[in-house]
Chains A and B, each alone.
Chain A
Amino acid sequence: MIAKENDNDAGHIEVKTTTCYMCACRCGIRVTLRDGEVRYIQGNPEHPLNKGVMCAKGASGIMKQYSPARLTQPLRRKQGSERGTGEFEPISWEEAFSTLSERLGKIRAEDPSKFALFTGRDQMQALTGMFSKQFGTPNYAAHGGFCSVNMAAGMIYTIGGSFWEFGGPDLERAKLFVMIGTAEDHHSNPMKIALSKFKRKGGRFISINPIRTGYSAIADEWVPIKPGTDGALLLAFIHELLRLGLYDREFLIDYSNAAELVNQDETSDEFGLFMRTDAPKEEGCFDQQNKYWWDRDKNQAVPVREEGADPFLLGEFELKDGTKVKPSFQLLKEQVEKYTPEWAEGITGISAEDIRRIAYEMGVTARDQKIELPIPWTDVWGKDHESLSGNPVAFHSMRGLAAHSNGFHSIRTLGILMSILGTIDRPGGFRHRAPFPRPIPPCAKPPKGWDDVKPNTPLNGMPLGWPADPEDLFVDDKGEPIRIDKAFSWEHPLSVHGLMHNAITNAWRGDPYPIDTLLIFMSNMAWNSAMNTGDVRNMLADKNEDGEYKIPFLVVADAFQSEMTAFADLVLPDTTYLERHDVMSMLDRPISEYEGPVDSVRVPILPPTGECKPFQDVLIELGTRLGLPAFVTAEGKRKYRDYPDFIVNFETEPGSGIGFLSGWRGKGGEDFMRGEPNPKQWEMYEKNNSVFHYDLPKSYQYMRNWNKGYLTWAQRHSLTRYVEPINIHIYSEVLQKFRLAAQGKTKGKQPPERLRKRIETYFSPLPFYFEPLESQLTDTRTYPLNALTQRPMAMYHSWDSQNAWLRQIHAHNYLFVNPKLAKEQGIKDGDWIWAESSHGKLRCMCRFSEAVEPGTVWTWNAIGKASGAWGLSPKANESQKGFLLNHIISEELPEHEAGEHISNSDPITGQAAWFDVRVRIYKAEDGEPEQTSPQFSPLKAYPGMNGKQTKKRWQAYFAGMFSKKK
């Protein structure tokens, strides 16, 4: 009966803390168990990230843990069965390990590039990356390339930090907040906490988004922009701010390259590069300060920061030797001259009047509502400042900018906009999170050629890195790609996160070469993270004439019966987040706060289900069996018992004191960031809510690009090598270097001819607006609409359809269409319609919405499922009424002058251009089946899965009784 005051007397209760992984946000959770079953998962009030709050997914963790889609045994594709049909037989772990180590050992001894490892939404890239490097394969990447690499690269190449996990808006102090193209993000709960506080204290919130849902719903103003045109809008903002002088001059001079003089001699090989003094070049991957300003008093070029100098930001000057030079800010001003609000109105659909008004709101708020904090600090040049000031205009942006082929430049424009408003790592503006800021670009570099890939040898270089100039590209003698995803080649020079979205297609085509074994971890590449899903599925199962699969051996490590697992030759069942150790490491993407570094762990709350084994343990075991140097002693003996042991004892170099976890280092836990391994480190994390949180002194918390205190602290704690300023790149010399190479002005690596024009065009040192590539290459009269997806707050990609609670909220999806548009086509609310792009078409249901820009249609991401997958019945809504937009998004662009198999990505970073797809819609014929198309033959349950649960008519979860009742 209800109102029996509580259920405390029932069962044996235990409470444990760990970290949520129903999404990448990584909130702290408290798990209450009753008789060993999960009774309640709540936010941990003592966790710095979520401070006790939850989200819909996190609170449904129970249903993930007990999902019928769970894999519980290692599986091998049945002999003679076809890939993709999901016919498996259980095998032992020993068999799995020996198969793998035999095969991989052979590959490693012959040609390590024949092994490729791609990982999805995991948070252990430090480990997977290290494994690949140790193995010696160049073919490793995580999901960043199809996710938001534009956001990372565009910002990091400009301000040395980024949104995403790396930084964010200071909503505690901002007065005006502009959110651009964000639906959910990796800072799910913290963003919600901050946003509501911000609104409650009277902050003004503007959302720029073609769609008004979620966060945009509570915006004070909605700016319904046409997709892919934000670059134009942001450039027009800058145009207006520069025209009216609404920029922070002092900030730009002191902390950016705005006043630095750029060579304007068109005949020179150094055209567009900064003029350099002949001060000796210092060693290190930081910005050299040997550049010039034009001093107004002396009216001549002076070395930057010369005592007493007051540089011009605008103007055109001539050096003594006759070289014409301009401050880069002048170049910016010229660049944006043509980008008037009227011009932008025609592109973005936002009225010039609104563009001006919003620009003024930004400019005036930044200028007139200055924040002054009584916090003294010292800059890296040694100057003391009595206080810290800030301009309270904050921005946040994610994939709405990133997932377009012009995203890199849009995002760089945003970085510049934020910079001219003077809001970088200052109160009320953008704030970094450790280990950011990094030098521009960060120091890690990819390998440089085939010489760096050798049998039985670790890769020479990092599998992923940050090219600073063409010499850092990973290409062969002809300038052609070495990696299977063609990352770091001239096709996508700054593809700092790889191009996972092209890995399967390239491997299938054997371009640049065929591979042998593909290991996919935690990514549903046969479904929602594939572009062109239908064809990619065929490629996965495609055979050569000799009957061999084009991708000979496919290994999938997953916890659930995803669409991807069906194509595996070998399935490695992972544990769930409640069953394993994990680390959210400083070497990867920790959960740091503005105030200082934070890293965290997961600890097992429950024993593994069935034969499940944490994938980290699998990697350590494999690494050990393969004799990879990091995992074995000099004598080739096992070095680490398992993953927890590895985490405690591993050091980046012997004695470096740097490991995966930064908290409680040193023998007794007395150190942090660096220190000897601490055998009790796990226990100490466990005791401390699974999180290590270090608050920097207040004076180190801001202006970190230039904060001597912070940089020295960071150096001392091994976060960075240099105590050098990280000046903002208003003007990007890095990009100009690639352009010069394309123009044949440099001696080093040169792009292949077909790509010269592309490089020259897109590697503009100052941002410019161009129409997304797909629109350039498609007939936009035939395909007049943009089609988008959004993250639903209550679902995580493909994971949550197995979740009995969450799937009730989103059981299937509709294509949302503005009624005006629909009525023109004779489409009624709820009709079955076709959405067709130049690559394919799909049938789905239409739902009217006024909250979408009329040239855009959209749907929730990844709700649609293949029939029978995810432990669902073949008749489940997800497969019958739900659909996946990916079927009509291509992974490659139509053939054009740059080549025939160019990735459908940003030409600079290789960021997958999900949101560029152009479509048309029309009503389905009468008599067509009321079912989404395409359909695939239903998957059957695999051995070890709880198929009975799938068929259950009803389920009543009651912790402590649930499994007993079954």
Chain B
Amino acid sequence: MHPAFSVIFLTTLIGVGQGLFLALFTGQVYALANLLPAQDSQSFYAIGSVVAIVFLIAGLIASVFHLGHPERAWRAATQWRTSWLSREVLALPITMGLIFAYGLTHYMGWTEPFFIIAKGTLPVDASLIIGTLATIATFALFICTAMIYAGIKFIQEWHTPLTVFNYILLGGASGFTLAAAFSAYVGADLVGFYGMWAVILTITGLISRAAVLWRNKHLQHKSNLQTAIGVRHNNIQQKAQGAMGGSFNTREFFHGSPQAVVKMARYGFLSLVFIVPVVLLGASYSMESSYLPLLAFVVQYVGLMMERWHFFTEAKHPQNLYYQSIA
């Protein structure tokens, strides 16, 4: 598939936003459970939510570049019964809204507990309720986004639950890394906590992503030239595709990059998404640096863009069988 930058930005940016929110909320829940020191509502959760929303909005803006007719984008919400894309279109604003509400409750300080559960240890306030809803929405959004890809059964490279895990794990990892950087920046002593979770998510992400790489390497494609044109012969060569200057089919479904570049991207993202951030986060832990986590996030984000780019180049659409050669 041809990697569209709009989609690369969209998925990575909202992934960061979603992950950041999850990090914030996890932090809050831990704090409520007194497992972590509480943070200031306004300066931490509210601003953190704003940052998350900024990422989500940036993603949304990026997605607009993907559309031929953004002015009709509202129509995309209508087919949620059948279309994962439509579901994503619904999930995204809901998630944004809930995160916004979450930030707002913190900003407004609506943190008076309504009641307390879990034997008096967990005070339930507006932020907790909204945060929980937002968490559900965030996961739903992850699933919708991922299912857009995983749901197309004949793009076999994508058609696996691992795609969903990856979206969640990588979005989560980048969000937690950002949370670590954010903590470092605002001087909250959650750097270690977020850093550790970021490392855990990154490493799990690595396992899951590596599994996909391994799977794709050994994937047996169901379609081949024999089934594509219905001729039984093991030596079929395309000579002409009827369009010498290219077509939508050659632009949209081929990445057109040399294998060497794809390979570089693969090693690139494996290092930038996984290895370097883990090292940087580890280093920041021991060095107590306030900018290393930020660096880790930037590196990881760049890596994620490569990862997403690679994700597209990995996918071999069966239609490509019809577009092998011109003459």
A→B interface (CB under 8 Å): 808-812, 814, 816, 847-850, 877
Query: Does B244 lie within 8 Å of A809, measured CB to CB?
Result: yes
A-binding segment of B27-35, B135-143, B235-243, B272-280: B235-243
Task: A811 to B327: give the CA distance in the assembly, Å.
Answer: 9
A300 to B327, CA, bound (A): 65
**What residues on A are CB-neighbors of B237 within 8 Å?**
848, 850
B239–A812 contact, CB under 8 A? no
In the complex, the answer to whether B239 meets A849 with C-beta atoms within 8 Å is yes
Given contacts A810-B244, A811-B245, 15 further A-B contacts (CB under 8 A): A808-B243, A808-B244, A808-B245, A809-B242, A809-B243, A809-B244, A811-B244, A812-B244, A814-B327, A847-B239, A847-B327, A848-B237, A849-B239, A877-B244, A877-B245
Alpha-carbon separation in the docked complex, A812 to B245 (Å): 9
Closest chain B residue to A813, Cβ basis: B327
Closest beta carbon of chain B to A861's beta carbon, Å: 14
Chain B residues lying within 8 Å of A877, measured Cβ to Cβ, are 244-245
Q: State the CA gap A566–B7 with chains docked (Å).
A: 50
For B327, the chain A residues whose CB sits under 8 A away are 814, 816, 847, 849
Residue-wise, chain B 236-260 has the 8 Å CB interface mask toward A (1 for contact) of: 0101001111000000000000000
- Min CB–CB distance A828 → chain B (angstroms): 13
Contacts of B243 in A (CB 8 A): 808-809
CA–CA, A811 and B245, complex, Å: 7
Task: Determine the distance from Cα of A810 to Cα of B326 in the docked complex, in whole angstroms.
Answer: 9
Which 6 A-B pairs rank lowest in CB-CB distance, beginning with the nearest? A811-B244, A847-B327, A811-B245, A814-B327, A808-B243, A808-B245
By beta carbon, the residue of chain B nearest A812 is B244
B241 to chain A, nearest CB (A): 10
User: What A residues does B242 contact at CB under 8 A?
Assistant: 809
**B-side interface mostly:** loop
CA–CA, A812 and B246, complex, Å: 12
In whole angstroms, how far apart are the Cα atoms of A809 and B239 in the complex? 13
Q: Of all chain A residues, which has the CB nearest B243?
A: A808
CB closest residue in chain B, given A213: B239
- Interface readout for B297-327 with A: 1 if CB under 8 Å, 0 if not? 0000000000000000000000000000101
Q: Looking at the assembled complex, report how far the CB atom of B249 sits from the nearest CB atom of chain A, in whole angstroms.
A: 13
Bound CA span A850–B237, Å: 9
Contacts of A808 in B (CB 8 A): 243-245
Task: Report B8-47 CB contacts with A as 1/0, cut-off 8 Å.
Answer: 0000000000000000000000000000000000000000
A849 to B244, CA, bound (A): 17
Bound state CA distance, A811 and B241, in angstroms? 12
Bound-state Cα–Cα, A814 to B326, Å: 9
For the complex formed, measure the closest distance between the CB of B71 and the CB atoms of chain A, giving whole angstroms: 16
- Which of chain B's residues have a CB closer than 8 A to the CB of A812? 244
17 pairs from A and B in contact (CB 8 Å cutoff) = A808-B244, A809-B242, A809-B243, A809-B244, A810-B244, A811-B244, A811-B245, A812-B244, A814-B327, A816-B327, A847-B239, A847-B327, A848-B237, A849-B327, A850-B237, A877-B244, A877-B245
Point out the residues of chain A lying under 8 angstroms from B245, CB to CB: 808, 811, 877
Residue in chain B with minimal CB distance to A849: B239
Kindly provide the distance from the CB of A878 to the nearest chain B CB, expressed in whole angstroms.
10
**Complex CA distance for A812 and B326, rounded to whole angstroms:** 10
Residues of B within 8 A of A810 (CB): 244
Nearest CB of A to B164, in Å = 35
Measured between alpha carbons, how far is A811 from B247 in the docked complex, in Å?
A: 13
Complex CA–CA separation, A877 to B244 (angstroms)? 9
A808 to B241 CA separation, bound complex (whole angstroms): 11
A514 to chain B, nearest CB (A): 44
- CA of A848 to CA of B243, assembled, Å: 18
What chain A residues lie within 8 Å of B244 (beta carbons)? 808-812, 877
Chain B residue numbers with a CB within 8 Å of A809 are: 242-244
Q: Which residues of B, 205-247, contact A by the 8 Å Cβ criterion?
A: 237, 239, 242-245
Closest CB in chain B relative to A684 CB, distance in Å: 42
Bound complex: CA A207 to CA B244 (Å): 28
Chain B residues with CB under 8 A of A849 = 239, 327
What's the Cα separation between A811 and B242 when bound, in Å?
10
Residue of A nearest to B239 (CB): A849
Bound: A940/B269 CA distance, A: 49
Q: Give the interface centre of B237, B239, B243, B327 by most chain A CB atoms within 10 Å.
A: B327
Inter-chain CA distance A877–B242, complex, in Å, is 15
Nearest chain A residue, comparing its CB with the CB of B235: A850
Query: What CA separation (Å) do A811 and B244 show in the bound complex?
Result: 6
A814→B237 CA distance, assembly (Å): 16
- CB B37 to nearest CB in A, in angstroms, measures 60
Q: How far is the CA of A809 from the CA of B243 in the complex (A)?
A: 5
A811 nearest in chain B by CB position: B244
* Residues from chain B with Cβ under 8 Å of A847 in the complex: 239, 325, 327
Minimum CB–CB distance for B265 against chain A, Å? 24
* Alpha-carbon separation in the docked complex, A808 to B243 (Å): 5
- State the CA gap A895–B278 with chains docked (Å): 80
Q: Please name the residue on chain A nearest to B247 by beta carbon.
A: A808
